[in-house]
Amino acid sequence: MQRRFVIGLAAALGAAVLAAPLLANADETIKVGVTGGPHEQVMEVVKRVAAKNGLDIKIVEFSDYVQPNAALAGGDLDANSYQHEPYLDAQVKDRGYKLVKLADTVTFPMGIYSKKIKTLTQLKPGARIAVPNDPTNGGRALLLLQTQGLIKLRASAGLKATPIDIVDNPRKLKIVELDAAQIPRSLDDVDAAAINTNFAMQAGLKPKADAIAMEDPHGPYVNILAIRAEDRNKPWAAKLAAAYRSPEVKQYIEQKFGGAVIASW
């Protein structure tokens, strides 16, 4: 009886030892929020790369810029990938979110599009220009209009410029503020529109071919992975960042988007 007990105990201990590595290597699952289009497409590649290192990514798609941060702050996501750092900074300041940047990802240079003109010089006095209505992307669009010589902003406006910061508007352009995701649908109703590249591509526009003006890709608007501050040292966070910034993902971005989306690492 005692001998059978010892043998059984040894077998149980041996099974536990064999199982330990399997448990240690078991996939850890996280939820990552993205907006549809390029962010979602890139994350699908990140998911495949991360799986090789034991990280299972569940992708959750959103159709606007507001909900992904709310879901992350509320614990419904572990990370998100859709915004640039100035937008995150504004959300943290305005809403008190305890969210931080994990890593830089890609740049989507903003473009100006139109169905009515081929160049900005064709804009008539009083033309209607659509821009995003959120503070950071709205400011980004106004800065783009300024670099194209269409308006002048007060020097103190910075990245969060609004229409009231316009101090010179020789063509009396009318700035129409709309939700960023809805602007591509407004092209029939305005003379031109500043559109974020992810929403432009989602609407079937080709930034390199269709934009009549483009933002400098080396500005402050690099997109990021965002997480809760409390998670910044979690092992899965390092795995997520490494998977995103991998050679496989960079190659995919270069081949898939032809310069409309730029890897920022």
Domain spans, the chain: 26-109+220-263, 111-214
- List helix spans (H) across the chain: 2-24, 38-51, 67-73, 85-95, 135-147, 197-202, 207-210, 235-244, 247-257
Superfamily for domain range 26-109+220-263? Periplasmic binding protein-like II (3.40.190.10)
Does residue 5 surpass a pLDDT of 50? Answer: no
Q: How many Cβ atoms are within 10 Å of 208's Cβ, its own excluded?
A: 12
Q: What percent of the chain has pLDDT over 90?
A: 82
- In this prediction the pTM is 0.74
Q: Which two tokens stand for residue 207?
A: 């930034």
**Which range is least confidently modeled, 20-34, 123-137, 197-211, 246-260?**
20-34
Full strand arrangement of the beta sheet holding 174-178 = 174-178, 128-132, 192-195, 111-113, 213-214
Same fold, 26-109+220-263 and 111-214: yes
- Average pLDDT rounded to a whole number, residues 34-57: 96
Does residue 2 surpass a pLDDT of 60? Answer: no
Model confidence over 185-194: pLDDT tens digits? 999 999 999 9
Strand partners, 240: none
Q: Are strands 111-113 and 152-153 parallel, antiparallel or unpaired?
A: unpaired
Model confidence over 239-251: pLDDT tens digits? 999 999 999 999 9
Instruction: State how far the Cα of 168 lies from the Cα of 146, in Å rounded to an integer.
Output: 10
Three-state DSSP at 97 gives coil
Given pLDDT bands bounded at 50, 70 and 90, which one contains residue 30?
very high
Question: 109 near 169, Cβ under 8 Å?
Answer: no
130 alpha carbon, distance to own chain's centre = 21
Question: 109 near 87, Cβ under 8 Å?
Answer: no
Q: What is the dihedral of CA 44, 106, 231, 229, to 10 degrees?
A: -150
Residue from 80, 116, 120, 117 nearest 100 by CA: 80
**Which range is least confidently modeled, 19-28, 32-41, 55-64, 102-111?**
19-28
Does residue 3 surpass a pLDDT of 90? Answer: no
Q: What percent of the chain has pLDDT over 70?
A: 90
Instruction: State how far the Cα of 34 lies from the Cα of 45, in Å rounded to an integer.
Output: 13
**Cα Rg of the chain (Å, integer):** 24
Angle at 109 between CA 244 and CA 245, to 5 degrees: 10
The CATH class that applies to domain 111-214 reads alpha beta
- Average pLDDT rounded to a whole number, residues 50-56: 97
Does residue 224 surpass a pLDDT of 90? Answer: yes
What's residue 135's pLDDT? Answer: 84
Q: Which two tokens stand for residue 48?
A: 């495949």
What's residue 20's pLDDT? Answer: 40
Model confidence over 65-112: pLDDT tens digits? 999 999 999 999 999 999 999 999 999 999 999 999 999 999 989 999
Instruction: State how far the Cα of 40 lies from the Cα of 82, in Å rounded to an integer.
Output: 9
What's residue 26's pLDDT? Answer: 55
Q: Which two tokens stand for residue 223?
A: 């997109």
Instruction: State how far the Cα of 40 lies from the Cα of 46, in Å rounded to an integer.
Output: 10
